[in-house]
Amino acid sequence: MKNQNFTPNWLEREANQQSFRSIFKWGAKDQFKNPSHGFLNVIKKELGLSDANFQAPVNSGGTIVEDTRKTTMLLEDIQQFEKIVGQENIFFDTYSRVKYSTGKSMEDIINLRQEKIENICDIVLHPRSREDIKKIVTLCHTKKIPVHVYGGGSSVTLGLTCQKGGVTLVMATHMNKMIKFNETNQTITVEAGMMGPEYEDLLNHATEKLNAKREYTGGHFPQSFEYSSVGGWVITLGSGQSSSYYGDAYDLVISQEYITPTGSFKTHDFPATATGPKINDIMKGSEGCFGVLVSVTMKVFQYQPETARQFTFMFPSFETAINAARQISQAESGMPSILRFSDPEETDIAMKMYGLEGGILDKFMVLKNFKPESRCLLMGQTDGGMAFSKNLFKHIKKVAKSNRGFYLTGYPMRKWRKGRFSDPYMRDSLNDFGVLIDTLEASVTWDHLLELYRAVRKYIKKHPDTICMTHASHFYAQGTNLYFIFITKMQDIDEFRLFQRGIIDKIEENFGSLSHHHGVGRMMAPWMERHLGEKQMDILRAIKNHFDPHNIMNPGGLGL
């Protein structure tokens, strides 16, 4: 603990080609991000680790995935699929099958680090068109072969595992094109496999690339933005970091086109209708269990980055921060795009990460009764039209002040913004030394927020030597979400599973939703019946059975 500037032997080199590591490593193969000294020192202290624990990486997954796991698919089936997509778009080597059956959940990663191959598909297809997909789904329906869809591969809820083998369709390879940009309606229609950065880039350069009158934004920036697909956002009900203003993925979808075992359809483009239950909404969040999402028409927004204003406040307590956030969300003055508040533990760690701890500002705050283990950061950004953004910024300052918020300028917020897409890289660095970092999240109404927070935190902190940071980052007049990050020393998959499932139990028992924006996957699936109740699960089962009577579409997904 003495050496505050000790640097571990971070594994900053590209993973071997075809290795396990090349599959589970986050993001670009040549990009890395390690915890700062401040953050690492917190981890060492809280987890009771020493420099010795950071000498030699363990289970780093550098081994090549040997082609030892032969596909069990019949040759005649393989030939039929090959006929549909062409020889260059079909793969059944072990590496490809592992790669496209794996997401970024901690369980996925632990397994791959231990070189365990479980629940992989039999064959990987890269469909070139909706016609390819129609033929594939029809063939699979006839032959009762499971079908899975792989978008960006960033699922953290075991959304991509293939318990029953079968086919995985990789959408990002070919199904990634823009279909139509409609500036009058402010909508864009894209194939489901278009990735976040291409999508946003098109819109941000609409004058040049889409012959538009001005630039636009999609307004959707999940932490996985760079490695997630537009279709994935919709099918798993994701939320971006600016969701409080732009809306969750759910709100952004105008229409969708599906290919299901029992038929294909495209929903209407109306901004609203009163023609019975909305098919467009019934399909959202179906996680591939009803059919394959082929294309989506999304709302777009006028891009005006010049109006953005960042703010950061320190509050003396968690309660005052919560009150301020609730008042901002209910004030009828527009919503900030980004809004987030941290609990005391996350705040204290953030102070260390931003290098604020112990400085003049810190000392001043402590004098003013903003004390560690109690004080809470709230930060965010306003967007929208110039006067709208300015007015909202002023209003937020007023609300914060009336709740004893101390203004810390926009600096910490801008600092956070810089790291917001690269933070996931740190997980790999820590995992290399057996430090586990994982997250769980839930939505909650305002009246149950503290109850949920305390119950989950109590459970996590009961585990010895464990960091638990909590924040809320998606806001509604009626409530918000809680996002729990836990860091501990753990490598055994069974121990991890037991611990994680205990957290999910606590969430479910204390008025949290099973998922605010991570989707269900196979991780939450076992809780679905208890969470929604039998009668509501029956509805999902009835719809599932209508689309997919042979249960070939993502079998086991959604707990169906």
Sites for a copy of itself among residues 472-491 (CB under 8 A): 474, 476-481
**Nearest residue (CB) to a copy of itself, 13 versus 394:** 394
- CA dist 515 and 532 (Å) reads 12
Residue 244 binds a copy of itself (CB under 8 A): no
Q: Is 533 in the site for a copy of itself (CB under 8 A)?
A: yes
Nearest distance in Å: CB 427, a copy of itself: 21
Q: Least separation, in Å, of the C-beta of 282 and a copy of itself?
A: 5
The verdict on 539 binding a copy of itself (CB under 8 A) reads: yes
Stretch that binds a copy of itself, among 31-39, 85-93, 391-399, 460-468 (CB under 8 A): 391-399
Rule CB under 8 A: say whether 536 interacts with a copy of itself: yes
Asked if residue 454 binds a copy of itself (CB under 8 A), the reply is no
Q: How far apart are the first and last CA of the chain?
A: 50
Report d(CA 114, CA 124) in Å as an integer. Answer: 23
Is 41 a binding residue for a copy of itself by CB under 8 A? The answer is: no
Cβ neighbours, 10 Å, residue 396 = 26
Query: How big is the site for a copy of itself, counted in residues (CB under 8 A)?
Result: 93
Closest CB 535 distance from a copy of itself, rounded Å? 4
| Residue 107 is a binding residue for a copy of itself (CB under 8 A) | no
- x/- track of binding to a copy of itself for residues 299-318 (CB under 8 A): x-xx-x--------------
Residue from 155, 187, 223, 242 in contact with a copy of itself (CB under 8 A)? 187
Nearer to a copy of itself, 174 or 541 (CB): 541
CA–CA separation, 155 and 7 (whole Å): 31
- Under rule CB under 8 A, residue 148 binds a copy of itself: no
Are 222 and 145 spatial neighbours (Cβ–Cβ below 8 Å)?
A: no
> Which of positions 319-358 make contact with a copy of itself (CB under 8 A)?
326, 330-334
In the chain, the amino acid numbered 82 is E
Q: How far is the CB of 411 from a copy of itself (least distance, A)?
A: 25
- The helix-helix angle for 318-330 and 449-462 (nearest 10°) equals 140
* 3-state SS, one letter per residue, for 306-373: HHCEEEEEEECCHHHHHHHHHHHHHCCCCCCCEEEEECHHHHHHHHHHCCCCCCHHHHHHHHCCCCCC
Q: Biggest alpha carbon distance in the chain?
A: 76
Per-residue contact string for residues 412-451; x = within reach of a copy of itself by CB under 8 A: -------------------------------xxxxx----
Part in contact with a copy of itself (CB under 8 A); list of ranges 39-47, 234-242, 338-346, 402-410: 234-242
**Amino acid identity at 358:** G
* Contact stretch for a copy of itself (CB under 8 A) within 22-30, 236-244, 359-367, 405-413: 236-244
DSSP state of 54: G
Sheet holding 167-170, edge to edge: 90-91, 123-125, 167-170, 147-150
Structure tokens at 501: 């499932």
Q: Phi and psi for 90 in degrees, rounded to 5?
A: -130, 130
Nearest distance, CB of residue 222 and a copy of itself, angstroms:
11
